[in-house]
Chain A
Amino acid sequence: MSAGADAALPTEAAGSAPQRATFRHYRHLTLELAITQFKLRYTQSALGYFWSLLKPALLFAINYLIFVDLFKINDGTQFYGIQLLLGIITWTFFAECTASSMQAIASNAGLIRKAYFPRSILVIAASLSSLFTFLINLVIVFVIAVLLHQIDIGVRIVFVFPLLLELYVLALGISLFLSALFVQYHDVGHLWDVLMQLLFYGSGVMFSLTYVLQRVHLALAIGQTTEIHNSHFAWIVEVMACNPIMQTVEDLRHALLTPVAPWTELVVTGHLAAVHQYATLDAPWLAPAPFVVVILVVTIGALTFRARARSFAENL
């Protein structure tokens, strides 16, 4: 019955059905890889997942002791302590996400040389596993904010999601770019370490942009700074204002921790307000600048990755 055998062959699937199946397969694979990586991060440690909570808490304690308790620094905003904590966990997410995703391709050489699937899945999975930790940490901040300061989270929580998406897309864009280059040039690993140090100070983790602007104002008012100094300052502030990490940190703080957010005041204005508050800086183009930066970064990252992905298997 050779005809019967032929008929039993799976007929070639037509239309979008196989595409949907393929998409489902890749989505499932991405999640499976992300969950595995999240699990593996905490195996072989006595405290396990508890570390994902303990780490930011300890970092917070150290920073709080040094800056608030010891040096009596307060940037003038309310609840500096919890603001600082929020800044730290946001930064930790960005730093961990880019650092671990950068190696996603190089450290999975075996998988890439022996199985086919879109290579970006590995980078997305690595970044997602950092995102899980971040989300858990955010919940902790919420809980502390509600318990300690009676902050009413309420409906404002909705504004958190677009900000998280923005930050995640930025981190993913950078991860795609770095992981693609890292395959051939491990130099980018060291370079990125140094750059992150710079970014940390330029992201308003310790001090809000408002604080920096106030200091500049103050310096100008008491004549401590010259015009040259001022233009220098303005340049730094302008660059900082373009930084999407600073913008998301500011806006997250504004969305979550401002005591009573008037409904008229849109969430994203946290960052905008700070920029506009700086009177000498007459630059309205700065307001959307962080978003433009995110779009640019993710575009360049994705294009670089796509161009290089086809030769990963040969170059690893």
Chain B
Amino acid sequence: MSISGRDIAIRVEDLSKRFRIPLDRSSTLKHRLTHWRSASRYRTLEALRDINFEVPAGEFIGIIGHNGSGKSTLLKILSRIYRPDAGRVTIKGQVSPFLELGVGFNPELTARENIFLSGAILGLGRAELHHRFDEIIGFAELEQFVDHKLKNFSSGMEVRLAFSLAIQAHAEILMMDEVLAVGDASFQQKCFDVFAGYKREGRTIVLVTHQLPAVTIYCDRALLLDHGRLVADGSATEVTAQYRRAIGLADDGSKLGPEIDRWGSRDVVVTGVRMLDERGEADENPMSGGFARVELGYEIQNDAVSEFTCVVWLVRGDGLVISEARLAVSQYAQAGSSQRGSAGTIRYDIAELPLLDGTYGVNVELQARRDGATFDHVEHAIRFRVIDRGGRRGLIEPGGVWSVVPSEQPVVSWPDQFASTQQ
């Protein structure tokens, strides 16, 4: 049946989508009747422009891009929820009708009733749901809550139920929008196990997410959207790297983040933050394992404040906090010197930067020593890109030591129950 080895599951040709956003919000009948002559005023938003790509059957493809880049719109067009304004979308195979977890859940219904209702939306028959009911409930670990109303569930329980139901779908093509955004670490691990299973079964998966590591690990390929245009289409590693660089560059302008990412009483303010190399020169591209210094300027604006705590966090591009370091600063400490002033510089030196290739940021905060009240907090005060010569992926370099011990027979073997599943 296939000519080139693999069938094309999704083909998108010259796809464009515009949204018309009414400038005057009153869209009542009266308004339409009284203003029928004057054409309604709209602002046109070009959500997608001339998108072209193909997805072979069985491929796991990730769609990334900043908020408002058109990722979700594209996914909705692929799932037939939105209609394209121009271009063509050809899809071969059954598409799952779900975009997010828990669609169709009703808080007034019990877990059992919700499984049958939401399952119906997924395309599962009643007999089939009966047959798999125990499996669904078991996977969600909700055996004791089968006949409890959903409104009494914690959000975690609800997500588990939604997920264990969603994975029952037979669809050959699965569309998923930010399913990873919910749930704790163990839930995300479950997601990935299921994804891996899908991949083995040869299902086609389109995943929209902000979680770049997930894209690099699980996706064969990634698309990068920017302002409605497809700006990159290639291997997941390359495209996510390009996106990381794009984010890093976009915020290159000022050292201080925008006002919206800054808060506090301003009794003591951060006057600036920069990153330096060992020669004391500004360097926002430190080497993995190399020297890096974060330098922070402060100024006390309220004379009643004589001591404060300085906190420096290293964060990943997506906001994940990697480390936290604190320093108590007291003006009395400087009293001996002639330099008793109301301003100064705080340095935080890292001798061997334990971060791997990627874009990171620094959050800083000056807070009251007594109660931790915030004087000045600056989110993403600076961004920096770590370069790893070896091109290693990941987050940290744990400083592990390698060794090899040869032997006649294998010494380390799998646990018994695991060994049978191998092969």
Q: A residues bordering B, Cβ < 8 Å? A: 5-6, 8-13, 18, 24-25, 28-29, 32-33, 36, 39-40, 43-44, 110-117, 184-188, 310-311, 313-314
| Interface pair B108/A313, CB less than 8 Å apart | no
- Contact size range, B: 35 or more
Asked if B7 and A12 make an inter-chain contact with CB atoms under 8 angstroms apart, the answer reads yes
Is B5 engaged at the interface, CB distance under 8 Å to the other chain? yes
Does B30 sit within 8 A of A, measured CB to CB?
yes
Contacts of A29 in B (CB 8 A): 120-121
Closest chain B residue, CB of each to CB of A2: B5
Interface centre among B29, B30, B97, B120 (most CB of A within 10 A): B120
| B95 neighbours in A (Cβ, 8 Å) | 116
B28: contacting residue among A18, A40, A187, CB under 8 A: A187
Partner of A36, one of B1, B5, B106: B106
Q: Cβ of B57: which chain A residues have Cβ within 8 Å of it?
A: 9
Cα A36 to Cα B80 with chains together (Å): 25
Chain-A contact segment, one of B109-117, B135-143, B214-222: B109-117
For the complex, give the distance between the alpha carbons of A310 and B125 in Å: 26
Contact indicator A43/B29 (Cβ below 8 Å): no
Q: Contact: A114 with B116, CB < 8 Å?
A: no
- Which residue of B99, B120, B202 contacts A33 across the interface (Cβ within 8 Å)? B120
Residues of A within 8 A of B108 (CB): 40, 43-44
Q: Does B133 contact A (CB under 8 A)?
A: no
Whether the pair B106, A40 counts as a contact (CB closer than 8 A) is: yes
Q: When the two chains form their complex, are residues A314 and B19 in contact, meaning their CB atoms are under 8 A apart?
A: yes
Contacts of B121 in A (CB 8 A): 29, 111, 115, 117
Residues of B within 8 A of A115 (CB): 79, 81, 97-99, 103-104, 121
User: What is the minimal beta-carbon distance from B199 to any residue of chain A, in angstroms?
Assistant: 10
Q: Does B172 contact A (CB under 8 A)?
A: yes
* Other contacts beyond A12-B1, A115-B99: 14, CB < 8 A: A24-B125, A25-B120, A25-B123, A32-B117, A32-B120, A33-B120, A44-B108, A111-B103, A114-B99, A114-B177, A115-B79, A115-B81, A115-B97, A116-B81
Q: Are B58 and A9 in contact (CB under 8 A)?
A: yes
Q: A8-B202, A116-B81 are in contact. Are A187 and B120 (CB under 8 A)?
A: no
What's the Cα separation between A5 and B1 when bound, in Å?
14
Would B98 and A114 count as touching, CB distance under 8 A?
A: yes
A128 to chain B, nearest CB (A): 14
| A contact residues around B90 at 8 Å (CB) | none
* B2, A6: Cβ atoms closer than 8 Å: yes
Q: Does B27 contact A (CB under 8 A)?
A: yes
Chain B nearest Cβ from A188, distance in angstroms: 7
Are A6 and B81 neighbours in the complex by a CB distance under 8 Å?
no
Q: B82 on the interface (CB 8 Å rule)?
A: yes
Q: What residues on A are CB-neighbors of B19 within 8 Å? A: 314
Residues facing A in B330-366 (CB within 8 A) are none
29 A-B residue pairings within 8 Å (CB atoms): A5-B58, A9-B7, A10-B172, A11-B1, A12-B1, A12-B7, A13-B94, A18-B94, A33-B117, A36-B106, A40-B108, A110-B103, A111-B103, A113-B81, A115-B81, A115-B103, A115-B104, A115-B121, A116-B79, A116-B81, A116-B95, A116-B97, A117-B121, A185-B29, A185-B32, A187-B28, A188-B29, A311-B83, A314-B82
**Do the beta carbons of A114 and B103 come within 8 Å of each other?**
yes
Q: B423: shortest Cβ distance to chain A, in Å?
A: 13
Name the CB-closest residue of A to B1. A11
Chain B 148-192 residues near chain A, CB threshold 8 A: 172, 177
Contacts of B58 in A (CB 8 A): 5-6, 9
Measured CA separation A265–B117 after assembly (Å): 46
Return the 10 tightest CB-CB contacts between A and B, nearest first: A32-B120, A187-B29, A29-B120, A116-B80, A25-B123, A115-B97, A185-B29, A114-B103, A114-B99, A9-B202
Question: Can you name the residue of chain B whose Cβ is closest to the Cβ of A112?
Answer: B81
Closest B residue to A40 by CB, please name it. Answer: B108
Q: Does B93 contact A (CB under 8 A)?
A: yes
Residue B100 interfacial (CB < 8 Å): yes
Which B residues lie within 8 Å of A314 (CB)?
Answer: 19, 82
Decide if A184 touches B27 in the complex (CB within 8 Å). yes
CA distance A29 to B123 in the complex (A): 8
List chain B residues, Cβ under 8 A from A110. 103
Contact with A along B294-322 (1 / 0, CB 8 A): 00000000000000000000000000000
Interchain CA distance A8-B5 in the complex, whole Å: 13
Q: Identify the closest chain B residue to A110 (Cβ).
A: B103
Chain B residue numbers with a CB within 8 Å of A33 are 117, 120
